[in-house]
Every structure is written in C-alpha cells, then in structure tokens.
A = this chain, B = another copy of it.
C-alpha cells in the first residue's frame, strides 16, 4: 500500500517542486481544476498594475508602440510555439478558442474544396468539447458540409472518401484520453483529409509537436494549463505551407498586410498574422504573458519533458491511491491507463456502490457551492460527491453523463505538474475516501467548509 510518507518522498525528489512557488495557491485548497482555469502566477498582479497605471494611465495611446502592445499577439505566440512544436512567427495569440476554430476550420474547408472538391464531410468525436462541435455545425450549415460525429474507436473508419477535414481535440475534456496526433494525422492525410487540432487540454500539459505530427491547423486555450487568467485570449497555428494560401473569413484590420495604410480594400498579411482580426484585450494579454513566462523558468529544470514525467507520475499516483483506498465505493476509471493515451487529468465514473444509496432528491440547492456542470439525470452521486469535495477545499469538477447510459457522470481531476505535488494527491484521495465513507454529501451540513489537513 502506498503511504503518505511515500508521497512526501516523491515530492522531495521532484526536480520541479520549486516551480509551485511561482504561483499563488490559496490556503486550504487542493486545486485539481487547472485544466479549467489555471492558478495565478505571482508576477501577474504587478505586471497588470504596471500596464494599467503606467502604460495605459500615463503613456496612453503611445503605448501601442512604446510598450509593444501591437506585437503582443506575435510575442506571446512565439512563447506558445515553443510549447507545441511550432516555429517562431507561426503562432498568434488572439480572440477565443471558438473564434480561432472558426477561422481555421473555414480555411481548412476552403483548402479541401480546392484540393478535393467532392469531399463534403467534417469528421469529429461525439464527445469533443461541445463548442467545437457548435462551431463546426454552423460552418457546415453555411458551406453545405456535413458534420459526422463518431466514437473515438470509429475515427479511422470515418476517414472515408467523403471526409474532407478531421477535427479533434487532442486531449478529451471529459475523459482525459489523448489521441495519437501523428498517427491520426497520417491516417487523415492518407485518406486525403486535412486535420484541425484543438490543444485546449494539451498546451502546457503534455508534449505537442505540431511539426513532427505534420498537422495542418491548430488552436488552443490561454487560461487552462497556460495559467493566463480567466478568459485569457486563445492561440492559433497554421502550417506555414498553408498559411498564405487561404483567407480566414474574419478579415479585420489587425490581419491586414498594412493596417495603418487605412486602405479601403483588404489585403491579408503574410503568414499567421492574417489570422488576427480586431484589437485585442491588452490587460488580459499581459496576464497571459506572466503565465507563459513560468514555462521559461521550467526550461531550466527539464522543461516540457520533465513536466510530462511528473504529470504521469501524479496521475498514476492518484489512480493507485483511489484503487488502493477507495475500493468498494462504486468508482470506475474513465481515463486510459496507457500513458500514451493519457492527458494530465484523471476522470472517475461512479455507479451505485453499497455505500451510495440513491441520491435523487437530496442534492444541495444550485449555487450553494460552485460546480461547473449540472446534476446528471441519473443517481450516480457524482455531482454531490464533487460538491462535498469542494466544500472541503478539494476543487475538481463534475461533468454530467449523457443520461442514456452511453456516457457516465464524471468526477474530473486535473493535475497540473507546475504546481501540484504528490502529497496533494494523497490529501485529495484522503478527502475523497472520507466523503465516500461518511456519505457526508447526503447530510445537510456538507456545505460547510472543511479544513484541508
């Protein structure tokens, strides 16, 4: 059996252990939700204050040049490029993930229409993050394409002669399962199909090599593992050989070849800059840069490879401890055991175990504590367990199942190797065990705050 002492020993040997001091971690909280909103880099408050008081307050309009505001999309893009196997000048930070997906999916459709005009299908995963599917659905409607949604094991078969674009999220938000980007891209290309990758749950969490995978288009999120702050702008990458060939439809002035010539006709900039549209939120970009700079510091202690090793060790430990200590409580493992197929999170399902009588009717009032999600249709208890954990300061989240038994309700725990330690994992499982053993989520007092010991 793994002990708390074992976990402490792992922390003592961890070459990345000092990185957590670059972040503000709230007292009494074990934060297993960095896959949803990353924590605060300690430099961010001072940096944003400087932007506000000096660059905006004193230098005003002059800061567009003197403080480099205009170049932030490219400057931050270069920092992200280094994390996802892209070259300098190939990534820009701008807009939201959904909007960037609209841009690249439009360009991919235009490219497919030229290279393989008979192909009219976009293939994706049914359990892809919904906004990706919504964006694809809208574009399909506009352009006369069909969106074909399949289970993960059906992807290869779906790459048939009608398939124009394969659009996938690299690490699934619900299950934590990671696709083999290189293999699927190769399969797609063999079928005459382009690839669009959403790196929302990958960038900063798992190694990504867009060049090596020969990917075509990619987008990703700034506020999850990149710790850029709530709603931080997103990023977009296009394979350099494609970038100049097609336009994206959001043809705003920041993507113009000469934005300050103020000519009435649009002329797209060269390369990835044409994927910019309008003026960007500078305060939010400044905070994101602080998040990205921690990865610069991580380089000195092993960089992305060391982060990946630690992430796998953390998720392995969590799986082991849950299996060793929480057996008999109806928990199941949703995330793959195979390292090659695992992102940086672990998702558990729950069926009714002997200690889990039906919970229907005993859910706490909505909003009493915060969970992103809604109670499932079933009576798995997953929602209430996550609520009880949050009340104890262990922040994970709940994702409702499909209600038809196809997808279970999920308890989701993200493990960010930059700031989560091995003893944190011990404490998290200890709390989970206490919640399950005492069935405290069924009791009226479960909303009260427990100290994390």
Interface residues of A (CB under 8 A from B): 24, 26, 29, 31, 33, 36-37, 39-40, 44-45, 48-49, 51-53, 55-66, 69, 95-99, 102, 126-128, 130-131, 133-135, 137-139, 142, 149, 223, 229-234, 247, 249-254, 256, 260-266, 277-285, 287, 367, 369-370, 372-374, 390, 395, 397, 399-400
Q: A284-B284, A397-B61 are in contact. Are A56 and B230 (CB under 8 A)?
A: yes
Known: A31-B60, A37-B61, A138-B266. A231 touches B279 (CB 8 A): yes
How far does the alpha carbon of A407 sit from the alpha carbon of B132 in the complex, in Å? 45
How many copies the complex holds: the figure is 2
Question: Smallest CB-CB separation from A130: which chain B residue?
Answer: B262
- A45 B53 Cβ-Cβ under 8 A: yes
CB distance A45 to B52 under 8 Å? Answer: yes
Q: State whether A130 and B264 are in contact (beta carbons under 8 Å apart), knowing that A57-B26, A277-B96, A282-B229 are contacts in the complex.
A: yes
Residue ID in chain B nearest A33 by CB atoms: B61
Kindly list chain B residues whose C-beta atoms are within 8 Å of the C-beta of A131: 252-253, 256, 278
Q: Chain B: which residue is nearest A397 at the CB level? A: B61
Chain B positions within 8 Å of A285 at CB level:
231
Q: Known contacts being A52-B287, A61-B372, A284-B281, is A98 close to B250, with CB within 8 Å?
A: yes
Complex partner residue of A229 from B33, B251, B283, CB under 8 angstroms: B283
Contacts of A53 in B (CB 8 A): 24, 40, 45
* Known A40-B52, A98-B253, A138-B247; 11 more pairs at CB < 8 Å: A37-B61, A52-B287, A66-B370, A99-B250, A99-B278, A128-B264, A134-B266, A137-B251, A138-B249, A231-B281, A261-B374
Some 6 contacts from A to B, beta carbons below 8 A apart, are A24-B58, A40-B53, A51-B230, A135-B250, A138-B250, A229-B282
| Cβ 8 A contact of A95, one of B36, B39, B96 | B96
Distance in angstroms between the alpha carbons of A277 and B31 in the assembled complex? 27
B residues within 8 A CB of A58?
Answer: 24, 26
Of A51, A138, A247, most buried by chain B (CB within 10 Å of CB) is A138
